[in-house]
Structure 1
Amino acid sequence: MKYPLDCEASFKNTYLFWLSRFIRNKITGLSNRQVNNKERLAQILQELILGFDSIKELKLVVKEVRNIGINSIHVYYIPLEKLYTFLINYGAASMKEIDEELLSDFLATETSTLSDATKKNYRIALITFFNYLDKQNEAENGNVYRYGIELKNWGGLSGKSGTKLPSFMQKDEVSTFIQAIESYPFSSKIAARNRLMIKIILYTGIRVSEAINIDLKDFNKDGNAYIIQVRGKGNKPRVVMIKEEIIRKDLKEWNEVKSSSNNLLLCNQKGNPLSQAYISSIVEKILLSVGIRKEKNGAHMLRHTFATMLYQKSKDLILVQESLGHADINTSRIYTHFDKDRLKQTTDIF
């Protein structure tokens, strides 16, 4: 069913109407392999049809969708939430006031401090949203309003000035962090689980989304190590390993208190997967407790730390690519920037 681009309500309500329907459209199109609460997701899809009175209500629902297992929905939502605030401050009264020039102004002001990868996500979110509007709006006389947004001439991505090197821990900081994992005052029921979870991410370099979905059938002991099969982006499987001695104690304690009988290695007390936001908050608290502060203190920083140390020790870019599950080796090349042995050669030129 199609709707007029501008309804009789205020601009705020009109934008929220379209954003809610767009988010619903994206949820139904994204991978649902990790969904852990089908009933609640079905309810949310109905709520998105009814719409919301405020952006805060919609934001809470999107956060819930992520926790349910549609993790990538925020890639579309965050830029469009920022656009909502930008348009309100601009004083927009009609959806028809939005054009390429206004969107370019938005990108220039809102993404100036972001990486090129994030800038690209913003651009894609805008193009996808307005393509959706092109297809779904229709006036009473049957006419359709076309945006035709392409943003080809936006110059925010020219060059590599927006690219940032990833945050990672130095070797001494890693030692401090590992000690802090053992001493941090977790709640007794989840202490072993949290230590196990963080160690697996740190010692294998797997993504947080991969860690929270480890199936027990894919977690097997092999000699003095555990072999873990994980599924990365695009549902591509790969295998990582971790020494048994690193997780033996925590794994034993977690298995003794784990109340759920599901097949997840790591879960909450109801048996549902842990959220990525929860894990990142735990990692950040441990880091801050020992005075380690990085530009990004979340759990993904542990993956960068693993990859950096792996390359420094092995000088094997193929090994880094295979361990991290990168489809393109050029993605792995970022870690060559931290090769101190090669950099030291530059100090002897003169």
Structure 2
Amino acid sequence: MEEQSLSLQQFFEYLQIEKNCSQYTIDNYSKDIREFSLFTSEQGIEGLQAVQYSDARLYLTVLYGRGLSKRSVARKTSCLRSFYKFMMREGMAKENPFALVSLPKKDQMLPRFMYEEEMNKLFSSLDKDTPLGLRDSALLELLYATGIRVSECCSIKMEDIDFSLGTVLIHGKGKKDRYVPFGSFAKDAIQCYIKEGRDALYDSAKNGHSHLFVNFRGDALTPRGVSYILNGLIKKAASEGTLHPHMLRHSFATHLLNNGADLRTVQELLGHSKISSTQIYTHVTKDQLKKVYNATHPRA
């Protein structure tokens, strides 16, 4: 067990130092490997090094039997494959039992987005007469203007914004920084929030910080807090359903492509390392084109 714990610790250090993985990724890998370790104990397998191909196949059967989705099984399989690849590199294992295990084909889920008319309705419903209202306006404008992730939005600090250039420095996944432009609507909303809203809220903060977006206590806004705010805005706009922060990211990408932006530009703005991650939005735009064609062409 001591040798196994050492190999796990070395793998996590490898992920953090060499692969530059986030703590979120490392925590998920840790959970997946420990679950598999428990499975090997239940099967009477003497340590992770003794696992064979047949054991790996059986584990996939167990995962499907628990009702896990193809996406979850694929993620766990990929994690264990990477772990054993590292073990082989370090001489801790002779073979990778997951090397020949085929990854289940993921169900392709088209991203949910809002139409431009829905976004305009949402912006029109904003109440800008209070500090919190000004913050909500700036938050919504920036998320839609940049397509940044909610975690990236919450980490923005005052010094990250350059109003003269109309850009914001984003600290992305994998510790990759990028500059993202924003337009005049977001600029006006953020400046108004900083001048008339943020200071009023920040006065209540217990600890000093320079985060752009704050909650009613003056502390830095959290991703969970952003979700709560956005759902409140949807209710005020008398719209159905919920507004997940990622829907604004999806809307940003979809609207850019619908209006003629090229895929490479959208990829860079979103901070995707692979263009395949961005290509999902081409399916969305094609679906939209098909709907418009069927609704408007006289012989559709």
TM over 0.5: same fold?
yes
Shift of 1:303: 0.3
Write the distance in 2 (CA, Å) between the matches of 1:167 and 1:81.
Answer: 33
1:70 maps to 23
The yes-or-no answer on 1:336 pairing with 2:282 is yes
Is 1:203 equivalent to 2:145 in the alignment?
yes
**Cα pair distance change 1:130/1:284, threshold 3 Å:** farther
Q: Would the aligned equivalents of 1:232 and 1:325 in 2 still touch at CA under 8 Å?
A: yes
**CA shift for structure 1 position 181:** 5.2
Q: What amino acid does structure 2 have at the position aligned with 1:217?
A: E
TM value normalised by structure 1: 0.60
**Alignment gaps of 5+ in structure 2:** none
Letter in 1 for 2:61: D
The one of 238, 255, 274 equivalent to 2:199 is 255
Conserved? CA contact 1:203–1:306, under 8 Å: yes
**Count of residue correspondences:** 281
**Identical columns (%):** 20
Q: Letter of the 1:206 partner, please give it.
A: I
The structural deviation recorded for 1:237 is 1.8
2:167 aligns with 227
Matched, 1:300 2:253: no
Q: CA offset at residue 206 of structure 1?
A: 1.3
The within-5 A match list for 1:1-350 is: 3=2, 25=13, 28-29=16-17, 31=20, 70-77=23-30, 79-80=32-33, 87=39, 92=43, 96=47, 99-109=55-65, 113-115=69-71, 120-129=74-83, 148-157=96-105, 162-179=107-124, 182=127, 192-222=134-164, 226-234=166-174, 235-243=176-184, 244-252=187-195, 253-259=197-203, 261-267=208-214, 274-287=221-234, 290-293=238-241, 297-339=243-285, 340-341=288-289, 344-345=292-293
Separation in structure 1 between the aligned mates of residue 228 and residue 167 of structure 2, nearest angstrom: 27
Question: TM-score, normalized by length of structure 2?
Answer: 0.69
Structure 1 pair 135–316 and aligned structure 2 pair: CA distance change class (3 A):
closer
On the 8 A contact 1:192/1:250 being kept in 2, the answer is yes
Gaps of 5+ in 1: 6-16, 33-68, 138-143
Task: Measure the CA separation in 2 of the matches of 1:78 and 1:312.
Answer: 40
Amino acid in structure 2 at the alignment position of 1:228: V
The 3 A distance-change label for structure 1 pair 302 and 111 is farther
Partners in 2 of 1:190 and 1:156 — Cα distance? 46
Secondary structure of the residue aligned to 1:230 is strand
Q: How big is the alpha-carbon RMSD for the aligned residues of Structure 1 and Structure 2?
A: 4.4
Return the alpha-carbon distance in structure 1 between the equivalents of residues 270 and 289 of structure 2.
22
**Cα distance in 2, alignment partners of residues 270 and 285 from structure 1:** 18
CA contact (8 A) 1:307 1:320 kept: yes
Label 1:207 to 1:153 Cα distance change in 2 as closer, same or farther (>3 A): same
Instruction: Tell me how far apart the structure 2 counterparts of residues 112 and 316 of structure 1 sit (CA, whole Å).
Output: 36
Partner of residue 61, structure 1: none
Query: Structure 1 residue 101: deviation in Å?
Result: 1.8
